[in-house]
Structure 1
Amino acid sequence: MILYFETRISVSGRMAALAACLATACVVAGGTLAAQETRASIKNVLLIVSDDLRANALGCYGDPLCQTPHIDKLASRGLLFTHSYCQGTWCAPSRTSFMFSRYEGRGTQSLGEHFRKNGFYSARVGKIFHMRVPGDIIAGTDGEDIEECWTERFNSQGDEAHTPGDYACLNRNVFTTELAGRQSTKMPHRMFVSVSYQGDGSDQPDHKTATKTIELLREHSAKPFFIAAGFVRPHYPMVAPKQYFDRYRWEEMRVPTQVQNDLADIPKLGQTASRSALNGIDQFPDNQKRMWAAYYAAITFMDDQVGRILDEVERLGLHENTAVVFTSDHGYHLGDHTFWQKSNVHEEVIRVPLIISAPGYQPGRTDSIAELVDLYPTLSELVGVDVPADVQGLSLVPILKDPTAQLKEGALSFSNGHSWRTNDWAYMRYNDGSEELYDMQHDPEQITNLAGDQEHEMVLERLRTELLARLENAGIKRINRRQTTPAR
């Protein structure tokens, strides 16, 4: 860069001017100005939400078996949050939470309505607010969707467990091609159903969601948009074309470590209603592996649909002005501690994948704590709109700028009580006062509950105080302050 100075400027003035020009040169050389200009050009948001997806099942989060090349590619282009947590631990409260940026309950204006009222085309395709899966998917109905959020909304119907093909109900050890007698809507064993069938997947709800999302991207690429694409896989029933099941031999699946007397130090309210000994799958160890194989097949099928959408984003040149977010409403138990499904505050449920790819921000990974309530203010800041006063999350843009930035001490989640997850510790306090405490640096699988260990009493007391303060700050009063020792 060439610097020019007027001879009339004083020595001090010349020094100040020189310093300013040098600073400008450094900024330009470092690309910061260019990045600021690029960030200012972000005008669209594409939000992609999976269903029941545990973070560590993705290749980019370290799973060595599951094939997720498209989500992994998005992660390589964006910022991957290694410590991202949901607030609600099943579909309805989680989706309400992140769509309103409230820890519990609704706020004044949802994310979709907020964008629509700020001049964006706002569309939902598939499941964003709660839908019964499979019930609302089979019927093609809206579920608990909020109509005023959207300029347009589209449902993606599918036959789910009634899809003709190789059906299995794995906790009952049932394998059949017959359509009669299959576990479906509101039936007690529907959570263990998989269907492998001959087809290209175009009849499946997630394929339909991707197809409609692609259509909307083409139709609305010329003006600001907020498009939310909600996939239902890998939520049960795990239905996918046979070629996806063929990628995962059940004999090669690895199931979670089973520890003798693992439940002895987990309080009653910390144990899920669906446990191996209660749902019957403990009688069929091979079927536990088949559950993992079906889960992986459903994920890879969903990943291919993500890829179709991302390819269209690239083809249309929207990657230059569109922020793309991928996440899930919560994680999922697949035999961890003999637990299955969700509605639990252990790590496999509360930890969710979160990838934010936005023009002008460098790709990478961050260990900074993030919560799904943070999506609302983050996306609003990226496109330059203010947020309602009752939004409780924090914008993650400072972390997008600097992945080492720390915005909060921990993450709050709830189910039969609340959990407080910091970088080093996982603390749960249930509605009856019982507690769990895990050293996540040395015990990431949460095997040894330290809540009754005198050596950790100071840590326990500190985390109690932090949790109660966070609950009060969020306006949540529903917690029993009585202290008890954990169940043994």
Structure 2
Amino acid sequence: MPRNILFIMCDQLRYDYLGCTGHPHIRTPNIDALAARGVRFDRAYVQSPVCGPSRMSFYTGRYVRSHGAAWNGFPLRVGEWTLGDHLAECGMRNVLCGKTHMAADVDGMKRLGIDPDSERGRWIAEGGFEVWDRLDGLHPTGGKQPSHYQDYLRARGYDGPNPWHDWANSAEGAGGEVLSGWLMENADKPARVAEPDSETPYSTTRAMEFIAEAGAEPWCLHLSYIKPHWPYIVPPPYHDMYGPQDVQPVVRSDLERRDPHPIHGAYMANRFSRVFARDGVRERVIPAYVGLITQIDDQIGRLMRFLDERGLTEDTLIVFTSDHGDYLGDHWLGEKELFHDASVRVPLIVVDPSPEAEATRGTVSPALVEAIDLAPTFVEAAGGDARPHILEGHSLLPLIRGEVERLREVVISEYDYSSRRARRELGQPIPDCRMVMVHDGRWKYVHAQGFRPMLFDQETDPEELHDLGADPAFQAERDRLHAALVEWALEHHNRTTMSDSRIAETTGNEWAQKIYIGFWDDADLEEAALEGASGN
């Protein structure tokens, strides 16, 4: 059984932008080596294609409709069990180094009389993580809160009120002027910060510092990189490691623009989508995106050597994944948020050092898996009770150890666009801005409240260019997948305070409590007592 868990997550890393997942140009030998040591899950899907709700599903092991944090900045309500709560019962520390996008339920804590500055309040506010170093990404001056990384940069001599923006997120012009990394025209230029001081090496160093200080106490370390998420700018030598010749052809068709689904059309109109339709943008941005990924890969190699040197490799379960993808101009879109594979499908590699996993090392699993499967995987690896009435995912260990071939028939992902411009453009009431994807590995069905559904057949249309949601010839597939959606929706999602075993123990206990229901007279009672009746 592994003693430790190293839970590595990238931000906005597409499933198909690694060497081991088939990208023809990118160099990721260290991540590829992880895949060779473990199992790569080729059909892994997140529970929402946007940072906050996706991560809250990773950290709770629950669907978005269950935990309620449906968009960035939506607090995770007080009382939700988190990975930290489950692992604490196993005697394992749950430690953060990097990004969570966690928003504290300050109003909920106030209502319950929990001091946010108390030890318990801080635990709740950080989503069950012991914070070693939190770095959610930073914004221009006046944006997000300061972080340890800002202090680190200042201590290293990077001056200015916001050294992250002026150095790590900016290039330098010929005249010494600062060129903002927020502007995509600067994506091909080197960031001003020295590479060892940029975000990815910084987070790796901090993670290694934790591991060095942790001692023998079991830990789960969530190393959560903020890259390759925009701003798309990277320090040398990664800024020109790739060029336009390494950019994959864009996946989009004129038909998508001529007759789009209303929600797809609204997202095409967003500025972050329109910019990727401009000539030359992808050729400038994607080499930087790929350079950021190779930088991450180099840091993974550095981290793996560190574990080897300390004799921790054989005691550590290692997971590598992402919180969602990045359209990069595919389907006439930028960012993420809808349900094409470029957005909702993620890389997932699990390296289980246990002898039981020997037979599957280096294999690729076609099983449909979800982000919520990691929490029960970690709990089982730590020797704990997975609490299936709370954790809605399934442990991956039976797949990794060759005990089963699949866990489910469909995967589910959800999205709430009420906070986005599309709601106003479409005239949708806030409660009706809900989308749910049901995918069985071939057919992908998207329920869009207030609009017709979307449907894609990945067998005949692997690039998802032909929306069959309005085609009468495919009504049977839509009906079948809608029925699967209804079945999922009718499952229990919020009975978290009563386990199945507890219900079984208390079933029919009215008789023991002398609660007599359905009896006519004393003779009935006496007869039931003689027969050992339960009273039901």
2:303 is equivalent to residue 309 of structure 1: yes
Matches within 5 A, 1:45-124: 45-104=5-64, 105=67, 106=76, 108-124=80-96
- What do the CA deviations read for 1:133-185 (whole angstroms, capped 9, x no partner)? xxxxxxxxxx99833623442134264442278749xxxxxx8776557365x
> Could you tell me the percent identity over the aligned residues?
27
* Cα deviation, residue 274, structure 1: 5.4
Match of 1:218 among 212, 222, 230: 212
CA 1:200/1:167 → structure 2, altered by over 3 Å: closer, same or farther? closer
Equivalence map 1:84-483=2 (5 Å):
84-104=44-64, 105=67, 106=76, 108-130=80-102, 146-147=125-126, 149-156=128-135, 157=149, 159-163=163-167, 167=171, 182=180, 196-197=190-191, 200-271=194-265, 273=267, 275=269, 280-281=274-275, 284-360=278-354, 361=357, 362-363=360-361, 364-388=363-387, 389-402=389-402, 405-415=405-415, 416-473=434-491, 475=493
> 3-state DSSP class of the match of 1:387?
coil
Q: Secondary structure at the match of 1:281?
A: helix
Change (3 A) 1:296 1:369: same
What secondary structure is seen at the aligned counterpart in 1 of 2:88?
A: helix
Per-residue deviation, residues 160-211 of structure 1 (Å, max 9, x unmatched): 442278749xxxxxx8776557365xxxx68995652366522112211100
Counterpart secondary structure, 2:284: helix
Offset of 1:254 from its aligned partner? 2.3
Aligned to 1:26: none
Change (3 A) 1:148 1:82: closer
Q: Secondary structure at the match of 2:384?
A: coil
Give the AA of the match of 1:182. Answer: S
Report the secondary structure of 2:226's partner residue.
coil
Equivalent AA in structure 1 for residue 312 of structure 2: L
What amino acid is the match of 2:394?
Answer: L
Label 1:114 to 1:193 Cα distance change in 2 as closer, same or farther (>3 A). farther
> C-alpha distance in 2, partners of 1:203/1:161?
13
Query: Partners of 1:337 and 1:297 in 2: how far apart?
Result: 23
Q: Please give the per-residue CA displacement for 1:386-420, whole angstroms capped at 9, x wherever unaligned.
A: 13431111111111122861110111111240111
Aligned equivalents of 1:190, 1:166: Cα separation in 2: 11
CA contact (8 A) 2:456 2:468 kept: yes
CA distance in 1, matches of 2:86, 2:339: 30
How far apart, in 2, do the equivalents of 1:279 and 1:265 lie? Answer: 17
CA distance in 2 between counterparts of 1:82 and 1:235 reads 22
CA distance in 2, matches of 1:182, 1:244: 18
Shift of the 260–205 alpha-carbon distance from structure 1 to 2, 3 Å rule, reads same
Provide the rounded CA distance (Å) in 1 between the counterparts of 2:124 and 2:233: 24
Q: Deviations over 1:316-359 (max 9, x none)?
A: 12121110001111111111111000111121111011111011
Return 368-377 or 198-207, whichever deviates more.
Answer: 198-207
CA contact (8 A) 2:444 2:456 kept: yes
Is residue 277–residue 329 contact of structure 2 (8 Å, CA) maintained in 1?
no
Q: Which residue of 2 aligns with 1:44?
A: 4
Q: 1:118 to 1:281 in 2, by over 3 A?
A: same
**Normalized against structure 1, the TM-score is what?**
0.78
The 10-residue stretch of structure 1 (240-249 or 372-381) with the greater mean CA deviation from structure 2? 240-249
* Distance (whole Å) between structure 1 residues aligned to residue 22 and residue 186 of structure 2: 25
Secondary structure (helix, strand or coil) at the match of 1:303 reads helix
Secondary structure of 1:46's match? strand
Following superposition, the deviation at residue 373 of structure 1 comes to: 0.6
TM-score, normalised via structure 2 length: 0.71
SS at match of 1:317: coil
Structure 2 unmatched runs, 5+: 68-75, 104-121, 136-148, 151-162, 416-433, 495-536
- Kept in 1, the 8 Å contact 2:59–2:127? The answer is no
Cα separation, 2, equivalents of 1:193 and 1:145:
38
* Partner SS for 1:359: coil
Distance 1:383 1:283, change over 3 A: closer
Alpha-carbon distance in structure 2 between the residues aligned to 1:436 and 1:52:
24
3-state DSSP of counterpart to 1:340? coil
Which moves more between the two structures, 120-129 or 420-429? 120-129
* Structure 1 residue 451, shift from structure 2 partner: 2.0
Structure 1 unaligned blocks of 5 or more: 1-40, 132-142, 169-174, 477-488
Q: Aligned pairs, how many?
A: 415
The one-letter amino acid of 1:466's match is: A
Q: 1:384, CA displacement in angstroms?
A: 0.8
Change (3 A) 1:270 1:314: same
Which is worse superposed, 330-339 or 103-112?
103-112
SS of residue in 2 equivalent to 1:326: strand
CA distance change for structure 1 residues 118 and 404 in 2, over 3 Å: closer, same or farther? closer
Instruction: Please tell me the residue identity of whatever aligns with 2:15.
Output: A
Code of the aligned partner of 1:375: L
Q: Distance in 1 between matches of 2:339 and 2:4?
A: 34
Aligned-residue Cα RMSD (Å) equals 2.8
1:70, distance to aligned residue in structure 2 (A): 1.1
